[in-house]
Amino acid sequence: MEFKRNIRVIKALIEIRFQNLMMFRLGFFGPFFVDGSLFLIQLMVFQAIYSNVDRIGTWGRGEMIVFIGTFSMINAINMVVYFFGINGLPQKIKNGDLDLYLTKPGSPLVRMTFEKINPGSLPLVGMSVLIIAYGIHQLGKPISGVAIAGYLFWIILMTILFYEMEVIIRSICFFVLSNANVTRIEEIGLELCMKIPGIVFYGGYRLLFCCILPYGIMATLPVQSLIGELSVLGAVYGILLTIIFTIITRGVWKRGVRCYNSASS
């Protein structure tokens, strides 16, 4: 029942978002150009970094290209589906705009997640697919259907983990006035883990980027699964970590809503 309602609401939110975006033609078409350009700049940075490097850890050029495509893909899904909705949460908490979400049936988080989908970032998904395909070609070995299915499973799981990280970081505003410094750590962590695969992290960095802020595993696990390098232990770790972060997200959100004090009128 609740699931069906959520699906209906998500459909209505997507429709209303499209209608909203289409009210302004430049606003609708602009992001396709802007996001595409930013993506090309990012590719040039990767090109500059990896053109003179043959291997990183056990990974060669093909694996690295698949890795870059995979991180871009997860990030692009994030940008298309939920980033702009979830990113507005701190402001809604500060301004008391969450009031109207809390008083409506259904989950306020579901509504916020899907209310600002951004079709302008869709080309990024397409470009990421192209990079991944090129990377697979560079690998020079056949990839089975099972490996692709496993890869897609990990993409979905890591997208959920990415979403949970975003919700947790932004929910900090329920408890403190500003989460600006934490979002900076998020930005820096993402930027680093987008360029360097999780397999090269050791010691404290491994703890930080594979456990506390697990951006280091987000593209690494899907690639390891695709190329047949993912151990059973690694797979169990990835699934467990996602479950743990789901529980943490749920707890932080519920506690946050209880602590919510709105804003004076």
Partner 1 sequence: MNIIETEMLTKRFRRYKKQAGIAGSVKGLIKRDYEEITSVSELDLNIKEGEFVGLIGPNGAGKTTLVKMLTGIIAPTSGKVSVMGYYPNDLKNDFKQQYAVVMGQKSQLFFDLTVEDTLRLFKEIYGIPEAKYQSAKNFFIKLFHVEELMNVQVRTMSLGERMKMELIVALLHNPRVLFLDEPTIGLDSVASKQIRGFLREINEVKGTTIILTSHYMEDIKALCSRSVVINHGSKIYDGNTEQLFERYQKHKKISLTFDAPMELPEIGFGVSMISETPYKKVMKVSREKASELLSFLMKFNPSDISVEEEDIGTIVERIYGEEGSSPDEIS
* Local structure of residue 97 (DSSP, 8 states): T
Question: Which tokens hold the place of 42?
Answer: 């990012």
Between residues 214 and 256, which has the closer beta carbon with respect to partner 1?
256
Interaxial angle between packed helices 220-227 and 145-171, expressed in degrees from 0 to 180 and rounded to the nearest 10: 170
Q: How many residues does the chain have?
A: 265
φ, ψ (nearest 5 deg) of residue 56? -125, 115
Identify which range of 52-60, 67-75, 101-109, 224-232 contacts partner 1 by CB under 8 A.
101-109
**How many helices (H) and strands (E) in the chain?**
14, 0
- The residue among 145, 124, 135 whose CA lies nearest residue 74 is 124
Taking the CA atoms of 77, 82, 86 and 92 in sequence, report the sign of the dihedral they define.
Answer: positive
Q: Is 231 in the site for partner 1 (CB under 8 A)?
A: no
Query: Are 72 and 128 a contacting pair, CB within 8 Å?
Result: yes
Q: Which of 44, 100, 152, 188 binds partner 1 (CB under 8 A)?
A: 100
Between residues 159 and 171, which has the closer beta carbon with respect to partner 1?
171
Between residues 134 and 260, which has the closer beta carbon with respect to partner 1?
260
- The residue among 153, 171, 163 whose CA lies nearest residue 238 is 153
Q: Is 137 in the site for partner 1 (CB under 8 A)?
A: no
The minimum distance between CB 8 and partner 1, in angstroms, equals 5
Between residues 147 and 257, which has the closer beta carbon with respect to partner 1?
257
- The residue among 165, 209, 207 whose CA lies nearest residue 191 is 209
Between residues 51 and 265, which has the closer beta carbon with respect to partner 1?
265
Between residues 52 and 265, which has the closer beta carbon with respect to partner 1?
265
Q: Which of 25, 202, 232, 258 binds partner 1 (CB under 8 A)?
A: 258
Q: Residue 263 — left, alpha, or beta (φ > 0 → left; ψ -120 to 50 → alpha)?
A: beta
Between residues 101 and 154, which has the closer beta carbon with respect to partner 1?
101
Alpha helix (H) residue ranges in 140-179: 145-171
Identify which range of 15-23, 34-42, 157-165, 227-235 contacts partner 1 by CB under 8 A.
15-23
Cα 76 to chain centroid distance, Å, stands at: 7
Q: Which of 20, 47, 58, 178 binds partner 1 (CB under 8 A)?
A: 20
Q: Which of 51, 52, 103, 231 binds partner 1 (CB under 8 A)?
A: 103
Q: Which of 40, 45, 99, 207 binds partner 1 (CB under 8 A)?
A: 99
Site map for partner 1, 104-123, x if CB under 8 A? xxx----x------------
Q: Is 176 in the site for partner 1 (CB under 8 A)?
A: no
> How far is 159 from 219, CA to CA, in rounded Å?
10
DSSP H or E segment with residue 198? none
Residues that bind partner 1 (CB under 8 A): 2, 5, 8-9, 11-13, 15-16, 19-20, 23-24, 96-97, 99-100, 102-106, 111, 257-258, 260-262, 264-265
